[in-house]
Each structure stands twice: as structure tokens, then as C-alpha cells.
Amino acid sequence: MPKYFVGDVIKTRKTHPCGGDLWEVIRTGVDFRIKCLKCGRVLLLPRPKFEKSVKAVVHTAAPGQTGNNP
């Protein structure tokens, strides 16, 4: 099971109506909040729907860089 982190850039199977298919993960958990990198639209998706829509992880954020740990 792949793990996703805040800051990851993912490519989706379907394109957004604006024409973009790259999204940044803003929030993880039971629901995922993602932001379109082309138009800036923010979506909130349940985890199963999010995992089905991901085609590839384009850029992975290191887990140590996201968060308030010193």
C-alpha cells in the first residue's frame, strides 16, 4: 500500500476540466485534500477515491520535511 505525504505531487488518471493533471497533496488521513497545480482548485476526496485516481507520484516530499518537528 503506497504512502502519501503532504507536499507530494501526484498525477491523476483523468485530467481536471482546466486541463491539468498534476496535484499537490495538502492533507492526508481519512480524507485527502489536493490542489490543482494549474488552476489552484482545491478538492477534498475520501481515501478510497483518492487512491483509485492516482496514476503516479511525480515528486515525493520527504516525511521529515513536513511537520513541526525541529
The residue among 66 and 17 whose pLDDT is bigger is 17
Domains of the chain, by residue range, sit at: 9-59
What DSSP assignment string belongs to 42-54? EEEEEHHHHHHHE
pLDDT at 33: 97
Residue 35 burial (CB < 10 Å; 0-12/13-18/19+)? middle
pLDDT at 45: 95
Q: Which three cell numbers stand for residue 57?
A: 507520484
Tens of pLDDT, residues 28-63: 999 999 999 999 999 999 999 999 999 999 988 766
Question: Which residue is listed with cell 490542489?
Answer: 35
Radius of gyration (C-alpha) of the chain in whole angstroms:
12
The predicted model scores a pTM of 0.81
Q: Distances in Å between the alpha carbon of 25 and those of 9, 42, 44, 63?
A: 6, 10, 10, 13
